[in-house]
A and B are shown apart, each in its own frame.
Chain A
Amino acid sequence: MPAHARPNQLFRNLSAKIASIPMILTALVVFVGGTGWTIVYSFTNSKLLPRLNFVGLDQYDRLWSTSKWIISLQNLLIYGVCMLVLSLVIGFVLAALLDQKIRFENTFRTIFLYPFALSFIVTGLVWQWILNPDFGIQSIVRGLGWESFNFDPLYNADIVIFGILIAGLWQSSGLIMCIMLAGLRGIDEEIWKAARIDGIPTWKTYLFIVIPMMRPVFITALVLISTGIVRVYDLVVAQTGGGPGIASEVPAKYVYDSMFLAQNLGQGFAASTMMLLAVIIVIVPWAYLEFGGRKRHG
């Protein structure tokens, strides 16, 4: 085929490509470059200032023999699984309830979404007070006469992570609800009618017809929730500061603490590289299935 018959692919939509150059550069330099830099320096013994003094896998050895890191990972796992399942369930149930053409839908939607307008720090502080045994729920219930009532998750190392989970759920379920609601509104009314004519019960319609149709909505929600899980930091700082003891530490806090409090950049970089690795292990197979497959269909 002669060259002039087809315009050069590189110059198609030229203005759009030029416009996206800044973002491409940012992505390459800041994200990819920063990531590479971090990984390289995680093999050094950099303390307060980055130094190219390689020590092999020493930082990783220390990382995996530190109980604070192990506890951080366990906490993230518990928090992550619970957060993922519960926000999807709560978000969807709330959305389904709101979708029943109830009165004051706008009011309810605003109330449910409102916590999302608060930062994690504010959310954390509010829940710290609510869950404080001397001022919050426990003292109110005891004041009502149940003297032996005990509810102090933030001061009990075994369940402290659930105290944080409550605050996280309260903050983010509203957003998931809104996304789900938008998805539900996108389902054609005809499908509901068809299901009703066939005599399928409502819950079955939701479970086997509506939810599979809402797949893209679920994926959006999933991505939003997962990024929230991996970077959870401020909530912990505001609610417990990692305590009692080190029972509510999370990986992001471990990274911050070792980089800035302990003045040990190498250790912080090693921890953040492990976090990146964990994310990649989850994301890559999923992205492969999700996007790799579609291409073949053409």
Chain B
Amino acid sequence: MKSFKALLTASTFLGAAAVASAAEIEVTHWWTSGGEAAAVAEFAKAFEEKTGHTWVDGAIAGGGNTARPIMVSRITGGDPMGATQFNHGRQTEELIEAGLMRDLTELAEKEGWRDFIRPTSLLDSCTVDGRIYCVPVNIHSWQWLWLSNKAFEDAGVPVPTNWDEFVAAAPALRAAGKIPLALGGQPWQSSGLFNVLMVALAGPDVLVKVYGDKDTEVAAGPEIARVFKAAEDAREMTQGSNVQDWNQATNLVITDQAGGQIMGDWAQGEFQVAGEVAGEDYTCLPGLGENEIISTDGDAFYFPVTDDPEVQEAQLALASTMLQPDVQVAFNLKKGSLPVRGDVDLQAANDCMRKGLEILAEGKTMPAVNQLNTEDTNNQLNDLFVEFFNDTSITAEEAQKRFVDIVAQAD
């Protein structure tokens, strides 16, 4: 044991001598599906080639809800990884306040992040008390309706161009033996669907008032009541989709068993893997065709505080690498998300991604729900909406009353 340790120490010194302070850095994330894994491999490749440090992949399977508790307990438990993915917003608020996350302000100022990161709200949600604590790496948006052209053809109705037309086409889809709207059983999908309806039908201002200002009057008002009525329609349309995961629901659309799905732009990766062509096989409607706007959800990397100077240096190198233009392009093309830099060119982007880029260029963006709500509130919303979408005995009025309670409790 002792000699083994000595050997290890010796080899560390040797390694250190060979490459000036090359460190191993463990990076945890929850990108495990095919497209996601390919995208994160781009980061690893670029990081190892450009800096000479070693990327130790710490993928955690099971999605963010499984991965985040593990990450948080490792950081609070005193066993921090070198870098970790989170959704920027309020998920890490307390970790930053407790001084467990590394301050990246110096690097950000040196490289001028504020000049090229677009929209700047991305950087704002990484900022606490004027200091920057994370690197946003992509933009994902929730407000998309994915429609199967073939399903509507089978039902003998034209492919809808907005939500109302879609609702009107639902009976025809049913008659043709199809599920009008695919929805998986995971709670976050139900609340996500509702939030998208809210943006599309009541407008982004209402959402910001409700979740941002916690305005209970607006939450109890007629605009939200209309959204709940629409959610009731949506609930009717989702009957019969016995799937759990979001990609299984997307698969119902891909295989033309369902008319459509409301899901973030990460669903696009599934269409791509299945070899479907945007515009021919499927149609995407940003903002449900009602209100063309996209939220700036997305992923960001955080760097927990560490004493090891080598790891500290590798952390900065990684942060810098992730934002380089060529890395941004390579990563986002594989991920199906939009780059955080306004100055890169996405030649290979498909129709739907282009729509997203246009909306982004026009500045029609809004904050993500994650940036406004704490995880606690999001979790309560998940519980409410997963119950609402699965239990037809809950009326829109009852659900709205509970919605108002949650908003009143939120901080």
A residues contacting B by CB (< 8 A) are 47-49, 62, 65-68, 133-134, 152, 155, 157, 241-247, 257-258, 260-264, 267
Contact = CB atoms under 8 A, between A and B. Distances in A.
Contacts of A62: 409
Contacts, number: 75
19 contacts: A47-B374, A48-B94, A49-B94, A62-B409, A67-B387, A134-B242, A155-B242, A241-B186, A242-B187, A245-B391, A246-B390, A247-B391, A258-B376, A261-B68, A261-B69, A261-B375, A262-B380, A263-B376, A264-B376
B59 interface: no
B185 interface: yes
Contacts of B376: 47, 258, 262-264, 267
Contacts of B73: 260
Contact of A263 (B244, B375, B405, B409): B375
B15 to A, nearest CB: 37
Contacts of B69: 260-261
A263 B187 CA distance: 16
Given A49-B76, A49-B98, A262 B387 contact: no
B409 A246 contact: no
Contact of A245 (B244, B374, B375, B389): B389
Listed residue (A133, A152, A246, A261) with the most chain B CB atoms within 10 angstroms of its CB: A261
A45 to B, nearest CB: 9
Nearest to A259: B69
A240 to B, nearest CB: 8
B65 A261 contact: yes
Contacts of A264: 375-376, 379
Interface string B175-204: 000000000011100000000000000000
Interface string B253-287: 00000000000000000000000000000000000
A262 B386 contact: no
Contacts of B402: 67
Contacts of B383: 66-68, 246
Interface in B357-411: 374-376, 378-380, 383, 386-391, 402, 405, 409
B95 interface: yes
Given A245-B388, A263-B375, 8 more contacts: A48-B93, A68-B383, A134-B242, A245-B389, A247-B391, A260-B73, A261-B65, A262-B380
Given A48-B94, A48-B95, A257-B379, A263 B72 contact: yes
Given A241-B186, A244-B390, A262 B98 contact: no
Given A47-B376, A155-B242, A262-B375, A245 B386 contact: yes
Closest 10 CB pairs of A and B: A245-B390, A260-B69, A262-B379, A48-B94, A244-B390, A245-B387, A264-B376, A263-B375, A262-B376, A243-B185
Contacts of B374: 47, 263
A245 B189 CA distance: 11
Contacts of B378: 262
Nearest to B90: A263
A245 B380 CA distance: 13
A260 to B, nearest CB: 4
Listed residue (B76, B93, B379) with the most chain A CB atoms within 10 angstroms of its CB: B379
Nearest to B242: A155
Nearest to B390: A245
Given A261-B69, A263-B72, A263-B374, A243 B379 contact: no
B94 A243 contact: no
A138 B374 CA distance: 42
A243 B386 contact: yes
B52 to A, nearest CB: 35
A119 B76 CA distance: 29
Contacts of B98: 49
Contacts of A66: 380, 383
A281 to B, nearest CB: 27
Contact of A241 (B76, B94, B185, B375): B185
B386 A48 contact: no
A262 to B, nearest CB: 4
Contacts of B65: 261
A155 B386 CA distance: 13
Listed residue (A48, A155, A246) with the most chain B CB atoms within 10 angstroms of its CB: A48
A75 to B, nearest CB: 13
Given A47-B376, A261-B375, A157 B242 contact: no
Contacts of A68: 383, 387
A260 B65 CA distance: 9
Given A246-B383, A261-B379, A48 B390 contact: no
Contacts of A246: 383, 386-387, 390
A261 B66 CA distance: 8
Contacts of B409: 62
Interface string B84-110: 000000010111001000000000000
Nearest to A258: B379
B188 to A, nearest CB: 10
B374 to A, nearest CB: 7
A245 B183 CA distance: 12
A89 B64 CA distance: 42
Contacts of A157: 390-391
Interface string B35-73: 000000000000000000000000000000100110011
A65 B384 CA distance: 13
Contacts of B244: 241, 243
A263 B94 contact: yes
Contacts of B387: 67-68, 245-246
Nearest to A246: B387
A41 to B, nearest CB: 14
A134 B241 CA distance: 12
A241 B65 CA distance: 12
A262 B69 CA distance: 9
B68 to A, nearest CB: 8
Nearest to A132: B242
A130 to B, nearest CB: 15
A129 to B, nearest CB: 13
Contacts of B187: 242
Nearest to A244: B390
A246 B191 CA distance: 13
Contacts of A262: 375-376, 378-380
